[in-house]
Amino acid sequence: MRCVYSDYKDLREKYGHIISPLSNSLKSQAEEFYYQKIGGYAVSAITNLPNEILIDDVVLNTMSDLDRIKAYHPVEMPTPYKYAAYIGFWWQRSKPFSCKLYDYTKFPERKALDPFFMDLCMSMNELFITEVMLSFIQKRSTSDPCKDQTNMFCSTDLQDSLHYFLQYRHYTAQELELFLKGLNTCPLTM
């Protein structure tokens, strides 16, 4: 077991003004997500309530990593991409949402045959954190040349791409940061 910030006391003193609001925000968003429906299925019927202890762990590990980056690199403040990437990376590691259904015999017969339902059961964490990460990096202004719909991917394409990346790819937080930057890049017109 690692002991870098075993009690996180120094980290909490240094970044308490960020840790508490971020943790509360993620818990609030996770609870709101819990009461939504996706494709006609209630999230609350598929997953347990989000584990608040694991959400706190996500925030503390994120802040620990960002603090370490600031200590060794000339970074005053992390970019929204870096911030989102580390939160997403640690969310994926901790997985605060857990599936209620643990045995195929517990599934209603029609749901066990529904690939969409089965995918929901296995990807609640990815679905949730995709939205959170995209909200961190969305910074479009009215003067943004990417606002022209002919040059911009639609929002669902971005969500699908990020969700797929989170669910099926192996990655580091740095690779996730680069992926997020790529998602938010204005396509070049030739």
Is residue 28 one of the residues assigned to a domain? yes
With a cut of 60, say whether residue 149 has pLDDT above it: no
Is residue 9 one of the residues assigned to a domain? no
8 A C-beta contact, residue 80 and residue 139: yes
More confident residue, 38 or 190: 38
Is residue 3 one of the residues assigned to a domain? no
pLDDT value of residue 64: 92
Residue 175 burial by Cβ neighbours in a 10 Å radius (0-12, 13-18, 19+):
middle
8 A C-beta contact, residue 175 and residue 86: no
pLDDT 10s digits, 7-29: 678 888 999 899 999 999 999 99
Show the DSSP H helices in the chain as ranges: 9-34, 43-46, 52-72, 80-94, 109-112, 115-122, 124-137, 155-168, 173-183
How many domains does the chain contain in total? 1
Work out the mean pLDDT of the chain and round it to a whole number.
82
pLDDT value of residue 6: 58
Is residue 52 one of the residues assigned to a domain? yes
More confident residue, 131 or 145: 131
pLDDT 10s digits, 43-72: 998 999 999 999 999 999 999 999 988 888
Is residue 188 one of the residues assigned to a domain? no
Q: What is the CA radius of gyration of the chain?
A: 18
Is residue 105 one of the residues assigned to a domain? yes
Is residue 90 one of the residues assigned to a domain? yes
Is residue 187 one of the residues assigned to a domain? no
The parent domain of residue 119 ranges over: 15-138+146-181
